[in-house]
Amino acid sequence: MLNPDGVYLGNYRCSLMGFDLNRHWLDPSPWAHPTLHGVKQLIIQMYNDPKTSLEFYIDIHAHSTMMNGFMYGNIFEDEERFQRQAVFPKLLCQNAEDFSYSSTSFNRDAVKAGTGRRFLGGLLDHTSYCYTLEVSFYSYIIGGTTAAVPYTEEAYMKLGRNVARTFLDYYRLNPMVEKVAIPMPRLRKGKPPSYKHSLLRGPASNHPNGKGDKKSSVNHKDPSNSF
């Protein structure tokens, strides 16, 4: 929970000072955005620790217009990395009846440059995956039906449990399912170079100054049908 003061006052999006916190990841202020600043520094510290393998970042939001749960992911110039990031939401779709892979999209919209998903997608290397998990404020539709089912607290918690179950499937740790051949993240060898805010690594950077933003209007619904 990175917006405790805003949520306490009933603001589901903005902080007490009126900031949409998920637009200030590029340069969060320790005074105006203290929660973002603290979490960002922690993530950088973990990333630069050779003993830590930071493989997933998922921020969770409610969506005010769309139904079901779905994800936003990033676009990368590295085709293999781009395809591998589709694995987790596809596995989640198999585990959660209220999760919609058809509503999941991969984009690099300029307006989303300050989000955690976009910023960290440019900072972290190819062994890491960054998503936003969006879940409807009000209801979901199960495949093959047309009736909307209202979300309840238990339904939200069930989706959370299914996310955890999907991690077991992703890492092939679930003894109840058949071992399927899915691409696994390759662990980083050695200590990564120290973080520098002005230079984000790799040609696939999602940083607004990165080369990859030439295709900012591209919106990919499904990077691969091979998984």
Given a cut of 60, whether residue 189 has pLDDT beyond it is no
The answer for residues whose C-beta is within 8 angstroms of residue 37's C-beta and 6 or more apart is 28, 29, 30
Distances (CA, A) of 97 to 30, 135, 143, 166, 212: 40, 13, 7, 13, 34
In the prediction, which pLDDT does 226 show?
44
Q: Give tens-digit pLDDT for 124-155.
A: 998 899 999 999 999 999 988 889 999 999 99
Q: In which region does residue 202 sit, left (phi positive, over 0), alpha (psi from -120 to 50) or beta (all else)?
A: left
Number of Cβ within a 10 Å radius of residue 74: 24
Rounded to whole angstroms, how far apart are CA atoms 140 and 151?
7
Rounded to whole angstroms, how far apart are CA atoms 174 and 178?
9
In the prediction, which pLDDT does 174 show?
80
**Confidence label for 12 from pLDDT (cuts 50, 70 and 90):** confident
**Confidence label for 188 from pLDDT (cuts 50, 70 and 90):** very low
Domain 53-184 CATH class label: alpha beta
Most confident of 101-105, 109-113, 195-199: 101-105
Quote the Cα angle for 121-40-166, to 5°: 55
Given a cut of 50, whether residue 86 has pLDDT beyond it is yes
Catalytic residues: 134
Mean pLDDT of 95-112: 93
Q: Give tens-digit pLDDT for 156-186.
A: 999 999 999 999 999 999 876 655 555 544 4
**One-character DSSP codes across 154-199:** HHHHHHHHHHHHHHHHHTT--TTS-------PPPPPSPPPPPBTTB
Domain boundaries, the chain: 1-51, 53-184
